[in-house]
Amino acid sequence: MSGAGAQPATDARLHHPRPTADRRLAHGLSPCEPPAAVPVPLAATFENFDRLLHALEARLTLGISPIALTLARLDWLLHLANAPGRRLALLQQAWLDGLRLASWAGRRMFGAEDPPPFAPEPEDRRFLDPAWQWPPFVFFAQGQLALERFWEAATSDLRGVLGPHRRQVEFLTRQDLDLRAPSNFPWTNPEVIRRTVAEGGWNLLRGFSFFVEDLYRQFSGQPPVGTEQFRPGHEVAATPGQVVFRNHLIELIQYEPKTSTVYPEPVLIVPAWIMKYYILDLSPNNSLVRYLVDRGFTVFMISWRNPGPEDRDLAFDDYRRLGVLAALDAIGRIARGRRVHAVGYCIGGTLLAIAAAAMARDRDERLCTLTLFAAQTDFSEAGELMTFVDEAQLAFLEDLMWDQGVLDTWQIAGTFRLLRARDLVWSRIIRQYMLGERPQLSDLDAWSLDATRMPARMHGEYLRHLFLENRLSRGRYAVAGRPVALTDIRVPLFVVGTERDHIAPWQSVYKIRLLTDAEITFVLAASGHNRGIVSPPGELGRHFRIRTMAEDEPYIPPDHWPAVAELREGSWWPAWVEWLAARSGEPVPPPPMGAAEAGLPPLCPAPGTYVTMR
């Protein structure tokens, strides 16, 4: 199903063809030797045995290679051993910080009210309870912060250490320190102690029952507690519409118009397929789709199929052909002659940028604007996910996916939770299993627990060709056998980054300014990768910066951009709708729902069937 336009598969680990004369020469054998001289079946058997072993190991490590991490630590350790000056500086820091801590603790023991010497980072919420400001808990917290300060100095900016290795050592050290934090143990956490005394230990019993229930649900394949309150088609993904096209990979949803006239150019949304599409159609007051429909736009949404092992050979280019292009073809049969406002989110935005570049190269002019939400096109600074992207790590992960056919939901979720372990692992353990509290899920929380799988070939190509080799920004990413260039895109772009995005840092998203020659309106929104995009008007604490840059305007580096951009309070959604409207024609009557005469009758009501696939 990879198709003629698929990205060439160059990694021999994904395929095992029989050896040709060129391969025999590469192994030092004569091409004239009889085939029996090359023990291909036996060699392949041995290699497959290794891959099965690696796949078993990966199931125990969430797909993280222990060899890759060992090499990273060894790289760091050898360079530190060869840097006596750096070791002396670390020894001096440890000595001075120890003196500061001991001196302050001594004064505090005798009643002094001096401020503690070490302050947590603004986003660190572990020690917010007032009891952490009093002995003995304040000493526990200060000791932890002093230890974290030392190891941050020890693992960062050590000359000679490879970039991926430095990130992995920092990651490992942070995980180890977070694990040992006094907030994670009931006998050193004042909030847990206070609750346990007040309830006579019932909070711990409740927490244990929650732990058993969660474990049972995970192993039995049931959704997490609380998600039953947010059912697609009922409480979420409830904007009225019809599935008007279906193939093996997508269902295309057309939403019913809410106004008597609509802008003539329809909006096509290409969501990420790492998760379900309905992050952009949550509950009615939190739905970007409903917001657009209410303001006179005809909206189409791609709903991706949740792949299984039988889809292991789906390629990244299949998502372009069977996803973006198939959806555009269907829209062209419904809204005849109309150009399209194309919108892509996260990996869906990366795919859309590739598709738009290929269309521009081939003189396909069906797009009138391009909008990218938290989508990267240059992966040289691709955020914390780069911690797990190097050759050793990818080989290990590819062996896991080779065995399974997909990267499974719990493996994807586990990786993302590790990247934000304080917020997504330890705080959850404390709140639920020690304090005995079940959090009230929001629609966005429930969506984040509705995970999907990733086909082996697609995910391997995505990580290798984009993350590791960064082919797209270097003009080496091929579509239909020819490289594409983002400079070919000439339509106006609306690009959104978010301030605290650990998946697609806004500085990385902003790099599209270097890769295109089109007009770009860039928005820097408050919050993170998901909450910064799901930003309905009326929510408190929202703000964004916005600036339009003409194609011939001098480049503004990201460090300077916030200072020259306009700061606005509230949601960025109205600014985007205004931008779309300014690039649309005069309103016309809505198009029909589907096009039965063109072979596209409505198939079933939204949200369709693919969104409920487990």
- The pLDDT tens digits for 113-159 are 889 999 998 888 999 999 999 999 999 999 999 999 999 999 998 99
The per-residue pLDDT for range 5-46, each reduced to its tens digit, is 444 444 444 444 433 434 333 444 344 444 444 455 777 788
Strand partners, 495: 372, 522
The CATH code belonging to domain 241-380+470-612 is 3.40.50.1820
Model confidence band, residue 407 (pLDDT cutoffs 50, 70, 90): confident
Q: What is the mean pLDDT of residues 171-182?
A: 92
d(C-alpha 575, C-alpha 447), whole Å: 26
pTM of this prediction? 0.88
d(C-alpha 380, C-alpha 331), whole Å: 35
Q: Which residue has the tokens 């394949």?
A: 221
d(C-alpha 38, C-alpha 57), whole Å: 30
Q: Other CB atoms closer than 10 Å to residue 614's CB: what's the count? A: 12
User: Where are the strands (E) in 203-316, listed by range?
Assistant: 241-246, 250-255, 267-270, 299-304
Calculate the average pLDDT of the chain.
Answer: 90
Q: What is the mean pLDDT of residues 596-614?
A: 94
- What pLDDT score does 487 carry? 96
- What pLDDT score does 40 carry? 56
Q: What is the mean pLDDT of residues 567-580?
A: 98
Nearest CA to 454 out of 275, 610, 575 is that of 275
The per-residue pLDDT for range 78-117, each reduced to its tens digit, is 999 999 999 999 999 999 999 999 999 999 888 888 899 9
Task: Please determine, for residue 234, whether its predicted confidence score (pLDDT) is greater than 90.
Answer: yes
Residues with catalytic function: 346
**Cβ 380 vs Cβ 510: under 8 Å:** no
Q: What is the mean pLDDT of residues 485-511?
A: 95
**Looking at 270-274, 417-421, 562-566, which range is the least confident one?**
417-421
- What pLDDT score does 32 carry? 43
Helix (H, G, I), strand (E, B) or coil at 350: helix
Proportion of the chain above pLDDT 90, given as a percent: 72
Task: Please determine, for residue 382, whether its predicted confidence score (pLDDT) is greater than 50.
Answer: yes
Model confidence band, residue 54 (pLDDT cutoffs 50, 70, 90): confident
d(C-alpha 133, C-alpha 142), whole Å: 10
The residues spanned by each domain of the chain are 67-197, 241-380+470-612
Q: What is the mean pLDDT of residues 586-597?
A: 95
d(C-alpha 333, C-alpha 422), whole Å: 49
Q: Which long-range contacts (CB under 8 A, 24 or more apart) does 477-482 make?
A: 477/7, 477/354, 478/7, 478/8, 479/5, 479/7, 479/317, 479/320, 479/354, 479/357, 479/358, 479/361, 480/4, 480/5, 480/358, 481/5, 481/8, 482/361
* Token representation of residue 90: 């670390």
**Looking at 26-35, 132-141, 240-249, 422-431, which range is the least confident one?**
26-35
Task: Please determine, for residue 501, whether its predicted confidence score (pLDDT) is greater than 50.
Answer: yes
